[in-house]
Structure 1
Amino acid sequence: MQSRPKASVIISTYNQPQWLALVLHSYNIQTESNFELIIADDGSDDRTKAVIDAFKTYSKLNVLHVWQKDEGFQKTKILNKAIVASHSEYLIFTDGDCIAREDFVETHLKLKRPHCALSGGYFKLSETVSQSITKDVIDTQKCFDKQWLLVKGQSKTFKLNKLTKSKVKANLLNTLTPTKATFDGMNVSCFKSDILAVNGFDERMQYGGEDREVGERMMNNGIKFLQVRYSTICVHLHHQRPYKNEEAEKLNLKIRKETKKNKTTYTKFGIKT
């Protein structure tokens, strides 16, 4: 009998097969291998299924492809389905355009704490550098190497510190950063029971703060968010955002204001309806 995985990595995606292939590969070389991959697919076409099927042929990881019909931006719905499908007590959420450093899963598991969630970040790659990323680059971890990135044309900014390999420096920067620890869907982890307790994501919400809102309900429910943006490392591949929608963002803002004002801990529009 197979033991329960230590974590479920939930990767949200929509019609970015080229990027997803690279992201999946980054999970095949993790220093911690006892986890499952769940691809939360918000209606991608067959190209994404082909990428996942190809990955399964060479990976020993247990991979679940949770798909729903394309009805516009419905990320909250597919994430709730992925939560229900998961087999682990600990969930790591990320996106199909974020390549994980080889210690990503291990670090999330090492830093997890009861009644807490871990709030990570990402380092944004330029369009030129994104096009330079291959599976070989991921295997050698060059995409997390400051010097390699600069040679390839990445701008030199303070944000390169997000790629530090020093645990001492990471801990210091986690403490000093003015950025609040929140639920950011590209790099966040929590106990499954803690997100189920607030009934998962609010399915009324489309693009724009939809992940923050579930975190705000979790906070209202007593979960503390810990800052780990300099410890759990991933790089974000460049892409456009055609799904931005002003009306949806207004609705999302309204729901978040209500959550804050009423100290809401549970949504009626989540996993259980």
Structure 2
Amino acid sequence: MKSLKPSVSVILSTYNAVDWLEKTLWGYQFQTTFDFEIVIADDGSGPQTKELLEEFSKDFPVPIIHVWQEDEGFQKSRILNKAIVACNSDYILMSDGDCIPKNNFVEEHLKHRRKGYFLSGGYFKLPLDISNSINLPDIQNQNCFDVNWLKERGLKSSFKNKKLTAGKFTSRALNFLTPTNASWNGHNASGWKEDIVRVNGFDERMQYGGQDRELGERLMNSGIKSIQIRYTAICVHLDHARGYKTQETLDKNAAIRKNTRDNKVTYAIHGINKNHDVTI
């Protein structure tokens, strides 16, 4: 009898962006494996998001779990911690509700997972006009990952386009050669739940700007290593405004990250476990 426990829990963060979330969920309808569940980390969206998820859940190929909290401003770290607790799998893949996954996205994360490591992916950012134009057939047919199709719609030539054009061997070489650090990226990263829980998840003092990287830094401080898969596990990022981005929160988060690096912090006191005198 097949276990009901999925091989991976995919956490998608969202906040009042039903059009982008719909396109993202379409991407998970066409994966090459369905051995996963989706956990929506909803930072206070209105009823439209709940209605969308209820509609998708009627015939979606994998379970969708909706984790919601009251809207108290940008509290992504807090809702992500709640989503981590809700995950049924031993392995967690984190992305965002504005990142459409290529059809082998989940499979590539499962293929490369290793004990003692987390996986660091990247994203390919699309301009707003192309983001708006993508529809269900474009995702089903994988047009939105086709550079020629994107160029016909105004995408400019760039070395970054190789994320979409690199084949198996080229992507492996680019993963090795890229100067970009293999950091924990909230839009495309995965790791073992026990490792994430051991460092107590996200630091809930942190708002927009680097809270994902800080988690990765604590993982590395605790002995977990990282593997670069930015050219292997591909998602495209739909453009949007960031009204929650402020210099004050960026400075605050930078100070927390500096402390984590300088003092080799491995445990977030303001994390999943709120009993500050006990470690998990």
Shift of 1:60: 2.5
d(CA) in 1 for partners of 2:108, 2:142: 16
- Which residue of the partner structure matches residue 67 of structure 2? 66
The aligned residue for residue 252 of structure 1 is: 253
The Cα of 1:165 is off from its aligned counterpart by 5.1
Which residue is equivalent to 1:162? 163
Matches within 5 A, 1:27-46: 27-46=28-47
Spell out, residue by residue over 1:187-208, the C-alpha distance to the aligned partner (whole angstroms, 9 max, x if none).
Answer: 0000001101100000010001
For residue 50 of structure 1, report the CA deviation from its aligned partner. 1.4
Q: Report the alpha carbon displacement of residue 225 of structure 1 after superposing the two structures with TM.
A: 1.0
Determine helix, strand or coil for the equivalent of 2:103.
Answer: coil
Distance, in Å, in 2 between the alignment partners of 1:152 and 1:232 is: 24
Secondary structure in 2 matching 1:264: coil
CA–CA distance in structure 1, aligned partners of residues 7 and 173 of structure 2: 28
State the 1:28 CA deviation: 1.1
2:95 corresponds to which residue? 94
Matched, 1:21 2:27: no
| 1:57 match | 58
| Cα deviations by residue, 1:100-155 (Å, 9 ceiling, x for unpaired) | 00000000000011100000000011111111100110000000001100001111
8 Å contact from structure 1 (residues 118, 227) kept in 2: yes
Secondary structure of the residue aligned to 2:67 is strand
Q: Report SS of the residue matched to 1:172.
A: helix
Deviation, 1:252, is: 0.7
Q: Deviations over 1:216-247 (max 9, x none)?
A: 00000001111100000000001110000211
One-letter amino acid of the structure 2 residue matched with residue 73 of structure 1:
F
Q: 1:51 to 1:100 in 2, by over 3 A?
A: same
Counterparts of residues 106-185 of structure 1 (less than 5 Å): 106-164=107-165, 166-185=167-186
User: Which residue number corresponds to residue 3 of structure 1?
Assistant: 4
Aligned length: 273
* Inter-partner Cα distance in structure 2 for 1:71 and 1:236: 25
- Measured in 2, the distance between the counterparts of 1:209 and 1:9 equals 20
Structure 1 unmatched runs, 5+: none
What TM-score, normalized by structure 1, do the two folds share?
0.98
Name the SS of the counterpart of 1:58 in structure 2. Answer: coil
Distance 1:187 1:122 in 2: 7
Unaligned runs of 5+ in 2: 275-280
Taking only the aligned residue pairs, the percentage that are identical comes to: 52
Structure 1 residue 3, shift from structure 2 partner? 2.2
**1:11–1:94 contact (8 Å) kept in structure 2:** yes
Instruction: Say whether residues 1:235 and 2:233 are aligned partners.
Output: no
Q: Which residue of 2 aligns with 1:216?
A: 217
Deviation per CA, 1:62-109, whole angstroms, max 9, x where unpaired? 100000000000000000000000000000000010000000000000
Aligned residue for 1:267, secondary structure, equals coil
User: Are the aligned partners of 1:199 and 1:266 in contact in 2 as well (CA < 8 Å)?
Assistant: yes
1:157 is displaced (CA, Å) by 0.7
Aligned residue identity for 2:181: K
Deviation at 1:54, TM superposition (A): 1.4
Q: State whether residues 25 and 55 of structure 1, in contact with CA within 8 Å, keep that contact through their aligned partners in structure 2.
A: no
- Matches of 2:29 and 2:69, distance apart in 1: 25
Partner AA of 1:19 in structure 2: W
1:181 is paired with a residue of what secondary structure? coil
CA distance in 1, matches of 2:176, 2:222: 24
Task: After the TM superposition, list the runs of 4 or more consecutive aligned residues in structure 1 that deviate by more than 6 angstroms.
Answer: none
